[in-house]
Structure 1
Amino acid sequence: MLDLNSHNLSNSKLPVITDNYTVLHFDEYPILFSGTNAFGNKIIGSFCEEDYENDTLIYFSIIVSDEDYSDFFRKKISYRKLIINSSEIFIIEKSYNNKILASYILPIHQIPLDYLPMESSFIPDKYAISDSISYSFKLKGKLTDLHKAIVSDVNNINSKIYDYLSEALQTLNVFGINPKVYSQPSTLGSYRLNYYINFTDSPQLNFFEVDQEKVSEFVNLYFEYISKLLPYEKDGFIYETVQNSENFLVVKNSFESIFTSSHQEPLPTVSDILIDGIGNVAEKLVEVSEFIKTNDSFNSIEVETISDGRYFSHGSIDINYKELIETKLSYGEVNYHNLTVESDSDPQPYRILVRRINTETGKGGGRLYPDDTENYHKISLTVHMNQDDLSNSIFTKSLNENKVVSVNGIGTRIDGVYKKLDCYL
């Protein structure tokens, strides 16, 4: 039996699950379970032993971080490891009718080793979450901590987050699928902006039979990379040393796995597609970060994935993102105001290869070939649609077939280097 002394008694409400109680393994008694306490902390607990002399049941209970909770449900960390990593553990004594009789708190080193769970104590497969395509952006701080917010602030940040998600999903156009971002009902009592990403085949673009699980895996890695890992890459890496980044290569390998799982050879320009996309998506996230500075309703946003009604931390967005990100994406762009900027007075013929294109906004990126050689300039591309349909056009043909095409447009050069092309349908 555990040695539970009166000096270890605790009146804390921290280990008591009040919401989201979920039994993860049951055998006569709940063996493994999870939930949240009255303060919103995540809890994982387990059956320890039965005290026959006192007719009571003994349970372990530990408070875990959002990140560890998420990793546990993804089978990235075992229950044993969570306990060992904790500095202390709560022990709850209950009656057979589930009434709490006493609560204790002990340092981990006082728990006998034979009371700890096994090394293989991972969450059962039945409850392990798969990669999610639902996201929640929880507004935190200022007025939202009081469960209120200024309507215009919520509307503005909702629009900016939508733009961020939509821009990121344009990378998938190469597979001939049409991502759509939908809003979901928020949770009562909290300012969460929830979104669901759905993928449908585009009749004009469809030429891959993609693996949905591979797409989901990539999307999650892509968002996590841009929001959490990109700010800590080397300065200017995206143009100079991108292939030396282990984190970037993880995203690239995931992107290529969509091709290979569909029995297709990955395009030789996968890195270019991702680099173009990362720069544009990061700019959208900068807009979200900058709005956090100026609004009166919240001062940070926690990003979470949603699975089976549960929320799992995916990182956070705060006011420092722009400062962290700008040196990673810069490549001689900071001093543009000291350089010569020239634009064509009329549309001129150009040869381009479209790397990405948003069929709704006409914005994208690609390569511009200034002569008959293989030399090219990376450009931002804007196609002014004039209410025409971009889906079945020369631009989507270039994207889908990985083919250089001839178009007319107004090119913009900065110190003699093409940076932008405006085209018209």
Structure 2
Amino acid sequence: MFAIDERLLLTSAPDFPLIVSDYEVLHFDEMPILFTGTTKYQARVIASSVEEDDDTDRFFYVIVTADTYSSFIRRRISYREIILRARSIFVVDKGTGGRVTVYVVPVEDIPDEYLPLEDSYCPERSLRPSLTFDASMRGKRADMHQAYPSDIRTVETSLSGIVSDALVSVSEAKRPPRTVLRPYGEGSFRLRFSVEEEAPPQLGFAAHLHPEYARLYIDFCLNRFQDEVDAIGDGELHKAPHFAALLTTYLRINMFGGNLRDGGMMSPAVATESLLLSLRRSVERLVELSDIIGQNFSSIEVFNVYEDSEEALIGAMDASSVARISASVERYDVRVGGVSEDAHAQEYEILIYNLNTETRKGSAYLILRDLMPRVRITIGGSGPLEETRYAESLYKNKRISVSARAKRAKDKIVSLSIEY
């Protein structure tokens, strides 16, 4: 084993990098070679076996953000890149009798032959998906296993809504699928929800494809939309391979009976338009999470619970990743329908139902004559919002009149920039 200066020994909180929950083996060869999990301090860790001798096994442990881990399992960055970007990593020696020694070692002190290879990407995993999903909130209040009811409602409504968006157009049953909450398991603060589908009529051949389709759909919303949105918006679908894969599964379901109730097969053009409408609605649900991420918790991890009860991370969101999704929605609207904005502020009546007082962004119902569409809001100025009419609208369910410039996509108001 390579020598480590004893002055690098971690003596304060030596259990800091050790995995205690969400353990998952990513690569196995007689023993776990690459694995992941979370610590008692709710930090996400990627770890690997480095070498062993007669009485000691040595491992690298790397603390990563939710965004970095999501990129790793999506094979966008390699394990080597993650280590090289870190200023230091934890080297963990596990000896006989349960002895554990932890060092904090600068990356430049690690011999190059011990670093992962250039192509050390996350191995592909082959598991059977189900229609059960977990959402784990981490950081801040969530690390104390606490959450505000309003935050829980927003997370549950957004994520379960995405699953419903995926399945409602492919279900063969007369009633749309319903999402039900289940008792959550271990985690910082975790929700578990499952989809209940009515038994399909005879010839329900496509139901076995629904779990995989739902997993691909959520993966696309969380991880792929922002990368392929420009190609999709420009109609260059050959440059959007993940959308193409999702569309192929969508068409397969339709071919096996998803649209039999409508008396015929759906053409690729119609299927593309239908899927894009559903995805646009779903990513807007993710954007609404930006109202609460960063206030009482730092990130959300979304898992699929497989048929053998194993879990696999689909994706993770923190403030930066949700901001990128939000920006991609705006780019999509510009390309597809064009976006216009009021030249001058006008009066609008709104009812705020989500508001991040730190970022001054949120969501509201726009009160029109016959409709109450949901719109994104941004409140100008820099003064505190806690004791204002905006907070009163949020907490007391009160309608307020605001002076704002509206942004429209295809003549539909999608956001308001409110004058403070």
Residue of structure 2 equivalent to 1:136: 134
* Matched ranges for 1:252-267 at <5 A: 252-258=247-253, 267=265
Percent of residue pairs bearing the same amino acid type: 17
Match of 2:354 in 1: none
Distance of 2:106 and 2:29 partners within structure 1: 25
1:210 equivalent to 2:206? Answer yes
Aligned-residue CA RMSD in angstroms? 4.9
Shift of 1:328: 1.2
1:2: which partner in 2?
Answer: 2
Alignment correspondent of 1:316? 317
Find the counterpart in structure 1 of residue 99 from structure 2: 99
Give a deviation string over 1:261-281, Cα, whole Å, max 9, x none.
99x9x9452342242233244
> Match for residue 276 of structure 1?
274
Match of 1:16 in 2: 18
Query: Secondary structure, in 3 states, of the residue corresponding to 2:19?
Result: coil
Contact kept? 2:304, 2:314, Cα under 8 Å:
no
Q: Name the SS of the counterpart of 1:172 in structure 2.
A: coil
Deviation at 1:171, TM superposition (A): 2.7
Structure 1: 5+ residue stretches without partners? 338-416, 420-425
Q: Please, which runs of 5 or more residues in structure 2 have no aligned partner?
A: 343-409, 413-420
| DSSP-derived class of the 2:97 partner | coil
Decide which of 166, 180, 189 is 1:168's aligned counterpart: 166
Aligned partner of residue 63 in structure 1, secondary structure: strand
Note if contact 2:220-2:242 (Cα within 8 Å) is conserved in structure 1. Answer: yes
Partner of 1:358: none
Would you say the 8 A contact 1:184–1:196 is kept in 2?
A: yes
The answer to whether 1:86 aligns with 2:90 is no
> Aligned pair 1:58/2:82, yes or no?
no
The superposition leaves residues 320-354 of structure 1 with CA deviations (integer Å, 9 ceiling, x where unpaired) of 445531441464475699xxxxxxxxxxxxxxxxx
Shift of 1:57: 0.7
Cα distance in 2 between the residues matched to 1:245 and 1:148 = 40
1:304–1:312 contact (8 Å) kept in structure 2: yes
What letter matches 2:206 in structure 1? V
Deviation at 1:69, TM superposition (A): 5.8
What is the CA–CA distance in structure 2 between the aligned matches of 1:3 and 1:140, rounded to whole Å?
36
Q: How many residues align?
A: 326
Deviation at 1:124, TM superposition (A): 11
Relative distance call for 1:16 and 1:250 in structure 2 (3 A) is: same
Q: Corresponding residue for 1:247?
A: 242
Corresponding residue number in structure 1 for 2:223? 228
Distance 1:67 1:174, change over 3 A: farther
**Kept in 1: contact 2:333–2:339 (CA 8 A):** no
Q: TM-score, normalised by structure 2?
A: 0.58
* Letter paired with 1:137: A
Mark the CA change 1:242 to 1:175 in structure 2 (over 3 Å): closer, same or farther. farther
Contact 2:80 2:115 in 1 (8 A): no
1:41 equivalent in alignment to 2:51: no
CA distance in 2, matches of 1:103, 1:209: 55
Alpha-carbon distance in 1 for matches of 2:313, 2:50: 24
Given that residues 231 and 328 in structure 1 are in contact (C-alpha distance below 8 angstroms), is that contact kept between their aligned partners in structure 2? no
CA distance in 1, matches of 2:188, 2:40: 14
Q: Secondary structure at the match of 2:98?
A: coil
**2:59 aligned partner, one-letter code:** F
Per the TM alignment, residue 97 of structure 1 is displaced from its structure 2 partner at its CA by 0.9
Residue aligning to 1:325: 329
TM-score w.r.t. length of structure 1: 0.57
Q: Measure the CA separation in 1 of the matches of 2:39 and 2:296.
A: 24
Q: 1:121 to 1:59 in 2, by over 3 A?
A: farther
